[in-house]
Structure 1
């Protein structure tokens, strides 16, 4: 199934397939929560379809042996590699396995497809192991790489791929789409917290994160009022929610800075303006700036090293508001 915001990329791929000009390594740059894996799988299913969907620039038939195996998740010529868990890298062993799949004979006598989800999480050794295969691609093997951004992808990998960027819908379009799926009204700030990615926004609400975040935000705004009561309550709520809570709170601090400068046209926390104003009036701009940077730095640290004592580090970060006041 394709989502409405994926149509333009899909039409571009259909044209290349019909002309027989599809590059052996497609790199799709799209955020988590954009449905990027569904789009990549749809391409794979089309290429593997035994009724000539790819050559006709059409859609997978859904009835051939290949399509049936694909739908069952048992297609022998379709392979997926992804980080074993969030925050982990794709290791060199997983990529070496990709290279072995790339040179194997197709079991159904057609193409072989290797999907690398989270290609930007490959370590340097893993990326270098993949590079040689991308430079000298085996015939009949299609690579599809998914990445959130090009920043963490080796330039040499980047240069060997045909790049496509999946544009996110506008905030209002995302809001309408999620409201239609959930049959309820949602806040614009929920869309903004999730970078306008429709599936991420939908999941945020379905998992109750919007309710928990509202509770965390209220506690955080209250803590920011001297004499800074409730430090451990805020730290506990952050830890329960995971390190992503630091990213959301950094958005709140940036909103406070914008408020102080009179730039109130596009705040993430558009429905929590009283809390933004309250914190902006309580904390000096320099402290807000320092603590925003510290929050982003701590987020990246916890992203890279999931085993760290998050609660202790978050408590240390929160004391920064008190120490500088």
Structure 2
């Protein structure tokens, strides 16, 4: 199933499929919660379709043996490589297995598809192992790489792929789409917290993260006011929610900095302006800037090294608000 915001990109892929000009390695840059996996799987199903992408107008027929196996999740020529869990790297062993699949003979006599979900989480050894295969691609093998950004991908991997970027809908479009799915109104700041990614926004609400974040924001706002009571309450809520909470709080602090500079529109926390105003009034501008940098640095550290003591590091970060006048 394709989502409405994917149609333009899909039409570009369809043209290449029909013309037989699809590159052997597609790199799709799109955030989590954009439905990127669904788009990649639709491409895979189309390429594997036994009635041919060109003959079916660039769409899978849905009735051939290949399409039925794909829908059942048992297609022998479709392989997915992904991190074992969020925050983990894709290791070199997984990529070596990927390379073995790449040179195997197709079991259905057609193409072979290798989907690497979270390609930007490959370790250096894994990326180098993949590079060798991308440089000399086996015949009849299609690679599809999914990444949130290009920052953590080796430039040599980038250069071997045909890059596509999936644009997110305008925030009001995302808001309307999610409200239609959930049959309820939602806050604009929820959309903005999730980068206007529709599925991420929907899941944020379905999983109750919006309620927990509202509580975290209230406790954080109380902590920021001298004499800074509730440090461990904030740290506990952040730890329970995971390191994404640091990203959300950094958005809040950026809004506070903007407020101090006289910017009062297009803030992420559009429905929490009283909290933004209160916090902006009690935090020194230099402290704000320093703490935003520290929050982003700590987020990156916890993202790369999930075994660290998150609560202790978050407590240390929060103390930074208390050590300044």
- Normalised to the residue count of structure 2, the TM-score between the two structures is 0.99
Asked whether 1:2 is paired with 2:9, we answer no
Q: Distance in 2 between matches of 1:133 and 1:9?
A: 26
Alignment partners' CA distance in 1, 2:91 and 2:57: 35
TM-superposed CA distance for 1:62, in Å, is: 1.1
The corresponding residue for 1:91 is: 91
CA distance in 2, matches of 1:57, 1:195: 33
Deviation at 1:53? 2.8
User: How much does 1:265 deviate?
Assistant: 1.7
Cα distance in 1 between the residues matched to 2:159 and 2:312: 42
Is 2:34 aligned against 1:34?
Answer: yes
Distance of 2:192 and 2:162 partners within structure 1? 30
Matches within 5 A, 1:150-299: 150-299=150-299
Q: Tell me the residue number matched to 2:309.
A: 309
Q: What is the CA-CA distance between 1:51 and the residue it aligns to?
A: 1.4
Q: 2:28 touches 2:163 (CA, 8 Å); kept in 1? A: yes
Give the distance between the partners of 1:138 and 1:315, measured in 2 at CA: 51
Report the Cα distance in structure 2 between the residues aligned to 1:132 and 1:321, rounded to whole angstroms. 48
RMSD of Structure 2 on Structure 1 (CA): 0.8
CA deviation after TM superposition for structure 1 residue 271, in Å: 0.3
**How many pairs are equivalent?**
325
- Map of 1:75-86 to 2, 5 A cutoff? 75-86=75-86
Quote the residue 1:45 is aligned against: 45
Deviation track 1:194-238 (CA, whole Å, cap 9, x = no partner) reads 000000000000000000000000000111000001111111111
Q: Is the 8 A contact 2:45 2:60 kept in 1?
A: yes
Q: Corresponding residue for 2:147?
A: 147
- The CA deviation at 1:58 is 2.4
Measure, in 2, the Cα distance between the counterparts of 1:43 and 1:308: 38
Unpaired runs of 5+ residues, structure 2, are none
Structure 1 residue 56 displacement after superposition: 4.3
Separation in 2 of the partners of 1:48 and 1:273? 51
Distance 1:201 1:180 in 2: 12
Instruction: Give the Cα–Cα distance (whole angstroms) in 1 for the partners of residues 302 and 250 of structure 2.
Output: 15
Q: Does structure 2 retain, via aligned residues, the 8 Å contact 1:29–1:148?
A: yes
